[in-house]
Structure 1
Amino acid sequence: MRFGQQVVPLPDVVPVLSAGKHRNPRKGACFMEMASFLAGERWSDHPSCTHPLLATMARLVNDSLTDLDRPRIVGLIPDVVGLTGDDLELDVAIAVHAAAAALPVAPVARQNVMAVGLLTCRALASSLPGPHDDLLRLCDEAFAQAPEAHAWARRYSRDTRVSERVFRRQTAPHVVAYAVEGIAVACVDDAVDRLVALLATTIRDTRARIERLSEAAAAEAPEVPTAAPADAPRRRLSRSAPTR
Protein backbone atom coordinates (compact mmCIF):
# COMPACT_ATOMS: atom_id res chain seq x y z
CA MET A 1 0.00 0.00 0.00
CA ARG A 2 1.05 3.54 -0.60
CA PHE A 3 -0.32 6.13 1.72
CA GLY A 4 0.66 9.60 2.82
CA GLN A 5 2.24 10.61 -0.48
CA GLN A 6 3.48 14.19 -0.44
CA VAL A 7 0.98 16.52 -2.05
CA VAL A 8 1.85 19.67 -3.96
CA PRO A 9 -0.38 22.48 -2.61
CA LEU A 10 -3.12 23.74 -4.88
CA PRO A 11 -1.75 26.68 -6.88
CA ASP A 12 -3.40 30.08 -6.57
CA VAL A 13 -4.76 29.74 -10.09
CA VAL A 14 -5.76 26.29 -11.27
CA PRO A 15 -7.37 25.13 -14.50
CA VAL A 16 -11.15 25.06 -14.35
CA LEU A 17 -12.30 21.46 -14.13
CA SER A 18 -14.00 20.25 -17.27
CA ALA A 19 -15.24 16.96 -18.67
CA GLY A 20 -13.12 14.51 -20.60
CA LYS A 21 -9.41 13.99 -21.10
CA HIS A 22 -7.02 16.87 -21.76
CA ARG A 23 -3.66 16.73 -23.50
CA ASN A 24 -2.09 19.31 -21.17
CA PRO A 25 -3.11 21.88 -18.53
CA ARG A 26 -3.52 24.56 -21.17
CA LYS A 27 -6.41 22.56 -22.60
CA GLY A 28 -8.07 22.24 -19.19
CA ALA A 29 -8.15 19.55 -16.53
CA CYS A 30 -10.42 16.92 -15.10
CA PHE A 31 -10.44 15.78 -11.47
CA MET A 32 -7.84 13.04 -11.84
CA GLU A 33 -5.57 15.07 -14.12
CA MET A 34 -5.33 17.67 -11.38
CA ALA A 35 -4.59 14.84 -8.92
CA SER A 36 -1.69 13.71 -11.11
CA PHE A 37 -0.35 17.27 -11.07
CA LEU A 38 -0.62 17.57 -7.29
CA ALA A 39 1.13 14.21 -6.88
CA GLY A 40 4.02 15.34 -9.07
CA GLU A 41 3.28 12.63 -11.64
CA ARG A 42 3.16 12.80 -15.39
CA TRP A 43 -0.01 14.56 -16.57
CA SER A 44 -2.64 11.83 -16.81
CA ASP A 45 -6.23 11.02 -15.88
CA HIS A 46 -5.03 7.56 -14.73
CA PRO A 47 -2.27 8.45 -12.23
CA SER A 48 -0.79 5.79 -9.99
CA CYS A 49 -1.31 7.92 -6.88
CA THR A 50 -4.98 6.90 -6.55
CA HIS A 51 -6.73 3.54 -6.28
CA PRO A 52 -7.87 2.64 -9.83
CA LEU A 53 -11.52 2.08 -8.92
CA LEU A 54 -11.72 5.25 -6.85
CA ALA A 55 -10.13 7.12 -9.75
CA THR A 56 -12.79 5.64 -12.05
CA MET A 57 -15.52 6.98 -9.78
CA ALA A 58 -13.86 10.40 -9.65
CA ARG A 59 -13.61 10.64 -13.45
CA LEU A 60 -17.25 9.59 -13.89
CA VAL A 61 -18.54 12.03 -11.28
CA ASN A 62 -16.41 14.79 -12.83
CA ASP A 63 -17.88 14.12 -16.27
CA SER A 64 -21.45 13.81 -14.95
CA LEU A 65 -21.42 17.27 -13.38
CA THR A 66 -21.95 20.50 -15.26
CA ASP A 67 -19.36 23.27 -15.45
CA LEU A 68 -21.45 25.12 -12.87
CA ASP A 69 -21.43 22.23 -10.38
CA ARG A 70 -17.94 20.85 -10.94
CA PRO A 71 -16.21 23.34 -8.61
CA ARG A 72 -17.94 21.55 -5.72
CA ILE A 73 -15.50 18.64 -6.01
CA VAL A 74 -12.29 20.64 -6.47
CA GLY A 75 -11.56 20.56 -2.75
CA LEU A 76 -11.58 16.76 -2.80
CA ILE A 77 -8.69 16.47 -5.27
CA PRO A 78 -5.83 16.55 -2.72
CA ASP A 79 -7.64 13.90 -0.67
CA VAL A 80 -7.16 11.20 -3.33
CA VAL A 81 -3.42 11.72 -3.73
CA GLY A 82 -1.61 8.74 -2.20
CA LEU A 83 -4.90 6.96 -1.57
CA THR A 84 -4.22 3.53 -3.03
CA GLY A 85 -3.69 -0.08 -2.08
CA ASP A 86 -4.04 -3.60 -3.44
CA ASP A 87 -6.35 -5.17 -0.84
CA LEU A 88 -9.56 -6.57 -2.33
CA GLU A 89 -11.55 -4.97 0.49
CA LEU A 90 -10.97 -1.56 -1.09
CA ASP A 91 -12.49 -2.59 -4.43
CA VAL A 92 -15.46 -4.22 -2.72
CA ALA A 93 -16.11 -1.23 -0.46
CA ILE A 94 -15.94 1.31 -3.31
CA ALA A 95 -18.34 -0.76 -5.42
CA VAL A 96 -20.74 -1.22 -2.49
CA HIS A 97 -20.84 2.51 -1.77
CA ALA A 98 -21.57 3.24 -5.42
CA ALA A 99 -24.26 0.60 -5.91
CA ALA A 100 -25.96 1.25 -2.56
CA ALA A 101 -26.19 4.96 -3.31
CA ALA A 102 -27.62 4.41 -6.79
CA LEU A 103 -30.04 1.52 -6.33
CA PRO A 104 -32.83 3.41 -4.50
CA VAL A 105 -32.96 6.30 -7.03
CA ALA A 106 -31.82 4.84 -10.35
CA PRO A 107 -34.45 4.49 -13.10
CA VAL A 108 -36.38 1.22 -12.95
CA ALA A 109 -34.72 -0.02 -16.13
CA ARG A 110 -31.33 0.25 -14.39
CA GLN A 111 -32.33 -0.94 -10.93
CA ASN A 112 -32.31 -4.63 -11.83
CA VAL A 113 -28.74 -4.39 -13.11
CA MET A 114 -27.69 -2.45 -10.03
CA ALA A 115 -29.34 -5.02 -7.76
CA VAL A 116 -27.43 -7.86 -9.41
CA GLY A 117 -24.19 -5.95 -9.01
CA LEU A 118 -24.92 -5.23 -5.36
CA LEU A 119 -25.76 -8.88 -4.71
CA THR A 120 -22.36 -9.82 -6.10
CA CYS A 121 -20.67 -7.19 -3.93
CA ARG A 122 -22.51 -8.40 -0.85
CA ALA A 123 -21.49 -12.01 -1.45
CA LEU A 124 -17.86 -10.96 -1.84
CA ALA A 125 -17.98 -8.72 1.23
CA SER A 126 -19.26 -11.69 3.25
CA SER A 127 -16.23 -13.73 2.19
CA LEU A 128 -13.59 -11.12 3.08
CA PRO A 129 -11.41 -11.74 6.16
CA GLY A 130 -12.76 -10.08 9.27
CA PRO A 131 -16.25 -8.70 9.92
CA HIS A 132 -17.62 -6.17 7.47
CA ASP A 133 -20.97 -5.38 8.99
CA ASP A 134 -20.88 -1.82 7.66
CA LEU A 135 -20.77 -3.01 4.05
CA LEU A 136 -23.46 -5.63 4.59
CA ARG A 137 -25.66 -3.02 6.25
CA LEU A 138 -25.27 -0.64 3.29
CA CYS A 139 -26.31 -3.43 0.94
CA ASP A 140 -29.34 -4.44 3.01
CA GLU A 141 -30.52 -0.85 3.45
CA ALA A 142 -30.34 -0.29 -0.30
CA PHE A 143 -32.22 -3.53 -1.01
CA ALA A 144 -34.91 -2.50 1.47
CA GLN A 145 -35.51 0.66 -0.56
CA ALA A 146 -35.76 -1.27 -3.85
CA PRO A 147 -37.48 -4.55 -2.90
CA GLU A 148 -38.73 -5.37 -6.39
CA ALA A 149 -35.27 -5.03 -7.92
CA HIS A 150 -33.84 -7.09 -5.06
CA ALA A 151 -36.37 -9.84 -5.67
CA TRP A 152 -35.68 -9.79 -9.40
CA ALA A 153 -31.94 -10.04 -8.83
CA ARG A 154 -32.31 -12.95 -6.43
CA ARG A 155 -34.64 -14.73 -8.83
CA TYR A 156 -32.50 -14.38 -11.93
CA SER A 157 -28.99 -14.35 -10.49
CA ARG A 158 -28.20 -18.00 -10.10
CA ASP A 159 -24.63 -17.45 -8.99
CA THR A 160 -23.17 -14.23 -7.58
CA ARG A 161 -19.71 -15.68 -7.08
CA VAL A 162 -16.92 -14.21 -9.18
CA SER A 163 -13.17 -14.52 -9.01
CA GLU A 164 -11.11 -11.70 -7.55
CA ARG A 165 -9.58 -11.06 -10.96
CA VAL A 166 -12.95 -10.80 -12.71
CA PHE A 167 -14.35 -8.60 -9.96
CA ARG A 168 -11.45 -6.15 -10.11
CA ARG A 169 -11.28 -5.94 -13.90
CA GLN A 170 -14.92 -6.19 -14.91
CA THR A 171 -17.59 -6.37 -12.22
CA ALA A 172 -16.50 -3.52 -9.95
CA PRO A 173 -15.79 -0.99 -12.75
CA HIS A 174 -19.14 -1.79 -14.36
CA VAL A 175 -20.97 -1.42 -11.03
CA VAL A 176 -19.37 1.98 -10.41
CA ALA A 177 -20.11 3.16 -13.96
CA TYR A 178 -23.76 2.07 -13.83
CA ALA A 179 -24.14 3.61 -10.39
CA VAL A 180 -22.79 7.06 -11.25
CA GLU A 181 -24.77 7.14 -14.48
CA GLY A 182 -27.88 5.91 -12.66
CA ILE A 183 -27.67 8.74 -10.12
CA ALA A 184 -26.94 11.32 -12.82
CA VAL A 185 -30.12 10.48 -14.77
CA ALA A 186 -32.33 9.75 -11.74
CA CYS A 187 -35.62 11.62 -11.48
CA VAL A 188 -34.65 13.37 -8.26
CA ASP A 189 -34.04 17.02 -7.48
CA ASP A 190 -30.76 16.42 -5.69
CA ALA A 191 -28.84 14.29 -8.18
CA VAL A 192 -25.85 16.63 -8.04
CA ASP A 193 -25.81 16.56 -4.25
CA ARG A 194 -25.91 12.77 -4.34
CA LEU A 195 -22.99 12.54 -6.77
CA VAL A 196 -20.84 14.91 -4.75
CA ALA A 197 -21.74 13.11 -1.52
CA LEU A 198 -20.97 9.71 -3.06
CA LEU A 199 -17.47 10.79 -4.06
CA ALA A 200 -16.75 12.51 -0.74
CA THR A 201 -18.07 9.62 1.34
CA THR A 202 -16.19 7.01 -0.67
CA ILE A 203 -12.93 8.95 -0.37
CA ARG A 204 -13.31 9.16 3.42
CA ASP A 205 -14.20 5.49 3.69
CA THR A 206 -11.29 4.43 1.49
CA ARG A 207 -8.87 6.50 3.56
CA ALA A 208 -10.12 4.94 6.80
CA ARG A 209 -9.80 1.43 5.38
CA ILE A 210 -6.28 2.02 4.07
CA GLU A 211 -5.20 3.38 7.45
CA ARG A 212 -6.70 0.37 9.25
CA LEU A 213 -5.20 -2.14 6.82
CA SER A 214 -1.79 -0.45 7.10
CA GLU A 215 -1.92 -0.55 10.88
CA ALA A 216 -2.92 -4.22 10.83
CA ALA A 217 -0.11 -5.09 8.43
CA ALA A 218 2.41 -3.26 10.61
CA ALA A 219 1.19 -5.06 13.71
CA GLU A 220 1.53 -8.46 12.05
CA ALA A 221 4.99 -7.80 10.63
CA PRO A 222 7.71 -9.80 12.43
CA GLU A 223 10.15 -7.79 14.48
CA VAL A 224 13.55 -7.54 12.87
CA PRO A 225 16.36 -7.97 15.43
CA THR A 226 18.59 -4.95 15.68
CA ALA A 227 22.12 -5.72 14.54
CA ALA A 228 24.96 -4.88 16.91
CA PRO A 229 27.09 -1.91 15.87
CA ALA A 230 30.12 -2.87 13.79
CA ASP A 231 32.50 -1.37 16.35
CA ALA A 232 30.88 -3.02 19.38
CA PRO A 233 33.39 -4.97 21.50
CA ARG A 234 33.08 -8.73 21.25
CA ARG A 235 33.39 -10.99 24.25
CA ARG A 236 35.93 -13.74 23.84
CA LEU A 237 35.91 -16.94 25.82
CA SER A 238 39.20 -18.13 27.15
CA ARG A 239 40.05 -21.55 25.84
CA SER A 240 40.71 -22.69 29.40
CA ALA A 241 37.44 -21.29 30.73
CA PRO A 242 34.66 -23.82 31.25
CA THR A 243 31.57 -23.35 29.14
CA ARG A 244 27.96 -24.25 29.78
Structure 2
Amino acid sequence: MTTPEPLPMPMLARGQHQSPRHGACFMELASYLAGEPWSDAPNCTHWALAQLARLVNDLTTDEKRPLLAPLVPLVIGQTDFDDGFAEDLALIAATAALPVAAPDLERSIALGMLRIGAGAGDYAHSASAPWPQRAQDALTHEADAEALAWAHRSAARMGRIETGASAATSLTLVSARAIAESSAPDAQDRLRELLRSAIAWAHERSGTDPATIAALRPDQWQDVVAAA
Protein backbone atom coordinates (compact mmCIF):
# COMPACT_ATOMS: atom_id res chain seq x y z
CA MET A 1 0.00 0.00 0.00
CA THR A 2 1.49 3.32 -1.05
CA THR A 3 1.23 6.44 1.05
CA PRO A 4 -0.22 9.40 -0.87
CA GLU A 5 2.10 12.34 -1.27
CA PRO A 6 1.22 15.31 0.95
CA LEU A 7 -0.45 18.20 -0.82
CA PRO A 8 1.82 21.17 -1.48
CA MET A 9 1.20 24.17 0.74
CA PRO A 10 1.33 27.86 -0.17
CA MET A 11 4.59 29.68 0.52
CA LEU A 12 3.15 32.34 2.78
CA ALA A 13 5.21 35.46 3.39
CA ARG A 14 5.64 38.06 6.10
CA GLY A 15 3.93 41.42 6.03
CA GLN A 16 1.44 43.14 3.78
CA HIS A 17 1.56 42.79 0.01
CA GLN A 18 0.10 45.14 -2.58
CA SER A 19 -0.98 42.30 -4.85
CA PRO A 20 -0.65 38.50 -5.21
CA ARG A 21 2.36 39.06 -7.48
CA HIS A 22 4.30 40.23 -4.42
CA GLY A 23 3.34 37.31 -2.18
CA ALA A 24 0.57 36.47 0.28
CA CYS A 25 0.30 36.47 4.04
CA PHE A 26 -2.17 34.35 6.00
CA MET A 27 -5.02 36.86 5.98
CA GLU A 28 -4.42 37.97 2.38
CA LEU A 29 -4.90 34.39 1.28
CA ALA A 30 -8.06 34.27 3.42
CA SER A 31 -9.40 37.36 1.64
CA TYR A 32 -8.76 35.71 -1.72
CA LEU A 33 -10.42 32.43 -0.73
CA ALA A 34 -13.42 34.37 0.61
CA GLY A 35 -13.84 36.23 -2.68
CA GLU A 36 -13.09 39.59 -1.11
CA PRO A 37 -10.76 42.35 -2.34
CA TRP A 38 -7.10 41.55 -1.62
CA SER A 39 -6.46 42.63 1.98
CA ASP A 40 -4.80 41.50 5.20
CA ALA A 41 -7.86 42.75 7.13
CA PRO A 42 -10.82 41.33 5.20
CA ASN A 43 -14.42 41.47 6.37
CA CYS A 44 -14.64 37.67 6.45
CA THR A 45 -12.77 37.44 9.78
CA HIS A 46 -13.23 39.23 13.12
CA TRP A 47 -10.57 41.88 13.55
CA ALA A 48 -9.12 40.31 16.72
CA LEU A 49 -8.72 36.88 15.13
CA ALA A 50 -7.24 38.52 12.03
CA GLN A 51 -4.79 40.42 14.23
CA LEU A 52 -3.60 37.22 15.89
CA ALA A 53 -3.32 35.46 12.53
CA ARG A 54 -1.15 38.30 11.17
CA LEU A 55 1.05 38.21 14.28
CA VAL A 56 1.56 34.45 14.12
CA ASN A 57 2.19 34.65 10.37
CA ASP A 58 4.86 37.32 10.77
CA LEU A 59 6.53 35.78 13.84
CA THR A 60 6.75 32.32 12.26
CA THR A 61 9.92 31.37 10.43
CA ASP A 62 9.98 30.97 6.66
CA GLU A 63 10.52 27.25 7.13
CA LYS A 64 7.49 26.77 9.39
CA ARG A 65 5.08 29.30 7.86
CA PRO A 66 3.63 26.95 5.20
CA LEU A 67 2.34 24.78 8.06
CA LEU A 68 -0.10 27.60 8.89
CA ALA A 69 -1.81 27.36 5.51
CA PRO A 70 -4.30 24.59 6.39
CA LEU A 71 -5.73 26.92 9.04
CA VAL A 72 -6.57 29.67 6.54
CA PRO A 73 -10.03 28.39 5.50
CA LEU A 74 -10.98 28.03 9.16
CA VAL A 75 -10.93 31.78 9.86
CA ILE A 76 -13.31 32.62 7.00
CA GLY A 77 -16.80 33.46 8.22
CA GLN A 78 -15.77 33.92 11.85
CA THR A 79 -17.05 37.46 12.32
CA ASP A 80 -20.12 37.75 14.51
CA PHE A 81 -18.79 38.12 18.07
CA ASP A 82 -19.41 40.52 20.93
CA ASP A 83 -16.87 42.95 22.36
CA GLY A 84 -15.50 40.35 24.76
CA PHE A 85 -14.16 38.13 21.98
CA ALA A 86 -11.00 40.22 21.62
CA GLU A 87 -10.37 39.84 25.34
CA ASP A 88 -10.98 36.10 25.11
CA LEU A 89 -8.26 35.84 22.46
CA ALA A 90 -5.91 38.03 24.52
CA LEU A 91 -6.29 35.72 27.52
CA ILE A 92 -5.81 32.65 25.33
CA ALA A 93 -2.57 34.16 24.01
CA ALA A 94 -1.37 35.28 27.44
CA THR A 95 -2.08 31.91 29.05
CA ALA A 96 -0.07 30.22 26.30
CA ALA A 97 2.81 32.69 26.62
CA LEU A 98 3.18 32.90 30.38
CA PRO A 99 5.11 29.62 30.90
CA VAL A 100 7.81 30.51 28.37
CA ALA A 101 7.97 34.33 28.45
CA ALA A 102 11.22 36.11 29.27
CA PRO A 103 11.12 38.00 32.62
CA ASP A 104 10.56 41.47 31.15
CA LEU A 105 7.67 40.30 28.99
CA GLU A 106 6.29 38.08 31.74
CA ARG A 107 5.63 41.17 33.85
CA SER A 108 3.73 42.88 31.05
CA ILE A 109 1.74 39.73 30.36
CA ALA A 110 0.85 39.27 34.02
CA LEU A 111 -0.34 42.88 34.28
CA GLY A 112 -2.42 42.51 31.14
CA MET A 113 -4.00 39.33 32.46
CA LEU A 114 -4.90 41.04 35.73
CA ARG A 115 -6.59 43.84 33.85
CA ILE A 116 -8.58 41.50 31.61
CA GLY A 117 -10.52 39.34 33.96
CA ALA A 118 -7.92 37.72 36.18
CA GLY A 119 -8.97 39.34 39.42
CA ALA A 120 -7.19 42.63 40.08
CA GLY A 121 -9.17 45.47 41.58
CA ASP A 122 -12.27 46.90 40.00
CA TYR A 123 -11.39 46.53 36.34
CA ALA A 124 -14.24 46.29 33.86
CA HIS A 125 -13.87 43.50 31.33
CA SER A 126 -15.97 41.48 28.92
CA ALA A 127 -13.98 38.25 28.65
CA SER A 128 -16.14 35.16 28.73
CA ALA A 129 -15.80 31.88 30.61
CA PRO A 130 -13.63 29.89 30.92
CA TRP A 131 -10.79 32.28 30.08
CA PRO A 132 -10.75 34.59 33.14
CA GLN A 133 -10.55 31.56 35.44
CA ARG A 134 -7.88 29.93 33.28
CA ALA A 135 -5.92 33.17 33.38
CA GLN A 136 -6.14 33.24 37.18
CA ASP A 137 -4.99 29.62 37.35
CA ALA A 138 -2.06 30.35 35.04
CA LEU A 139 -0.98 33.31 37.14
CA THR A 140 -1.18 31.18 40.27
CA HIS A 141 0.75 28.21 38.92
CA GLU A 142 2.95 29.56 36.11
CA ALA A 143 3.91 33.15 36.93
CA ASP A 144 7.12 34.02 38.73
CA ALA A 145 6.29 35.31 42.20
CA GLU A 146 8.21 38.58 41.78
CA ALA A 147 6.66 39.23 38.38
CA LEU A 148 3.18 38.63 39.76
CA ALA A 149 3.80 40.89 42.76
CA TRP A 150 5.03 43.64 40.42
CA ALA A 151 1.93 43.22 38.28
CA HIS A 152 -0.39 43.54 41.29
CA ARG A 153 1.43 46.69 42.49
CA SER A 154 1.25 48.20 39.02
CA ALA A 155 -2.44 47.38 38.68
CA ALA A 156 -3.15 49.00 42.04
CA ARG A 157 -1.28 52.20 41.07
CA MET A 158 -3.12 52.43 37.77
CA GLY A 159 -6.54 52.41 39.39
CA ARG A 160 -9.71 51.67 37.48
CA ILE A 161 -9.22 51.68 33.72
CA GLU A 162 -11.80 50.52 31.25
CA THR A 163 -10.44 47.61 29.28
CA GLY A 164 -11.44 46.74 25.76
CA ALA A 165 -9.90 46.71 22.31
CA SER A 166 -6.73 48.61 23.22
CA ALA A 167 -5.82 46.45 26.22
CA ALA A 168 -6.70 43.24 24.38
CA THR A 169 -4.69 44.23 21.32
CA SER A 170 -1.62 45.06 23.42
CA LEU A 171 -1.79 41.85 25.44
CA THR A 172 -2.19 39.71 22.33
CA LEU A 173 0.80 41.43 20.70
CA VAL A 174 3.09 41.03 23.71
CA SER A 175 2.04 37.42 24.25
CA ALA A 176 2.64 36.32 20.67
CA ARG A 177 6.00 38.07 20.68
CA ALA A 178 6.92 36.41 23.99
CA ILE A 179 6.31 32.96 22.54
CA ALA A 180 8.27 33.69 19.36
CA GLU A 181 11.24 35.15 21.26
CA SER A 182 11.30 32.52 23.99
CA SER A 183 14.05 29.95 24.41
CA ALA A 184 11.54 27.11 24.24
CA PRO A 185 12.73 24.57 21.65
CA ASP A 186 9.16 24.21 20.39
CA ALA A 187 8.42 27.95 20.22
CA GLN A 188 7.29 27.75 16.60
CA ASP A 189 4.95 24.88 17.37
CA ARG A 190 3.55 26.84 20.31
CA LEU A 191 2.84 29.80 18.03
CA ARG A 192 0.96 27.63 15.59
CA GLU A 193 -0.96 25.94 18.41
CA LEU A 194 -1.92 29.36 19.76
CA LEU A 195 -3.56 30.28 16.47
CA ARG A 196 -5.21 26.86 16.29
CA SER A 197 -6.63 27.31 19.80
CA ALA A 198 -7.96 30.78 18.98
CA ILE A 199 -9.65 29.45 15.85
CA ALA A 200 -11.16 26.56 17.81
CA TRP A 201 -12.59 29.03 20.34
CA ALA A 202 -14.05 31.15 17.53
CA HIS A 203 -15.85 28.12 16.15
CA GLU A 204 -17.09 27.17 19.60
CA ARG A 205 -18.43 30.69 20.13
CA SER A 206 -20.10 30.74 16.71
CA GLY A 207 -21.48 27.21 17.00
CA THR A 208 -19.74 25.99 13.85
CA ASP A 209 -17.81 22.78 13.32
CA PRO A 210 -14.35 23.28 11.76
CA ALA A 211 -14.34 19.60 10.77
CA THR A 212 -17.00 20.36 8.17
CA ILE A 213 -14.85 22.94 6.39
CA ALA A 214 -13.13 21.65 3.27
CA ALA A 215 -9.36 21.37 3.37
CA LEU A 216 -7.25 23.82 1.43
CA ARG A 217 -6.70 22.48 -2.10
CA PRO A 218 -3.87 23.49 -4.43
CA ASP A 219 -6.30 24.50 -7.17
CA GLN A 220 -7.66 27.18 -4.83
CA TRP A 221 -4.38 29.04 -4.43
CA GLN A 222 -1.79 27.96 -7.02
CA ASP A 223 -2.72 30.79 -9.35
CA VAL A 224 -2.08 33.27 -6.53
CA VAL A 225 0.92 32.13 -4.50
CA ALA A 226 3.79 29.75 -5.20
CA ALA A 227 3.93 26.22 -3.87
CA ALA A 228 6.53 25.39 -1.25
Match of 2:222 in 1: none
For 1:80, the aligned partner's letter is V
**1:22-41 matches, cutoff 5 A:** 22-41=17-36
Cα shift readout 1:82-139 (whole Å, capped 9, x = no counterpart): 1012402211211110111112211101111111111111159x9668972x213320
In structure 2, C-alpha distance between the alignment counterparts of 1:199 and 1:24, rounded to whole Å: 25
In structure 1, C-alpha distance between the alignment counterparts of 2:160 and 2:92, rounded to whole Å: 19
Structure 1 segments (4+ residues) deviating >2 Å? 12-15, 126-131, 159-164
Deviation at 1:20, TM superposition (A): 0.8
Q: Contact 1:65–1:192 at 8 Å: present in 2 too? A: yes
1:181 aligns with 2:180: no
Deviation at 1:27, TM superposition (A): 1.0
CA RMSD of aligned residues (A): 2.5
For 1:62, the aligned partner's letter is N
Q: Contact 1:54–1:203 at 8 Å: present in 2 too? A: yes
Match of 2:102 in 1: 107
In structure 2, C-alpha distance between the alignment counterparts of 1:96 and 1:131, rounded to whole Å: 10
Q: TM-score, normalised by structure 2?
A: 0.79
Deviation at 1:32, TM superposition (A): 0.2
Residue of structure 2 aligned with 1:146, choices 125, 133, 143? 143
Find the structure with the greater CA-based Rg. 1
In structure 1, C-alpha distance between the alignment counterparts of 2:94 and 2:61, rounded to whole Å: 22
Match of 1:20 in 2: 15
Deviation at 1:141, TM superposition (A): 2.7
Q: TM-score, normalised by structure 1?
A: 0.74
Q: Contact 1:120–1:160 at 8 Å: present in 2 too? A: no
Unaligned runs of 5+ in 2: 1-6, 209-228
Match of 1:117 in 2: 112
Q: Which has the higher contact order (CA 8 A, sep 6+)?
A: 2
Determine helix, strand or coil for the equivalent of 1:157. helix
Cα shift readout 1:163-217 (whole Å, capped 9, x = no counterpart): 35xx21x1111111101111000111010111000000110011111229xxxxx
Determine helix, strand or coil for the equivalent of 2:117. helix
Aligned residues between the structures: 197
The 1:38–1:127 alpha-carbon spacing in structure 2 relative to 1, beyond 3 Å, is: same
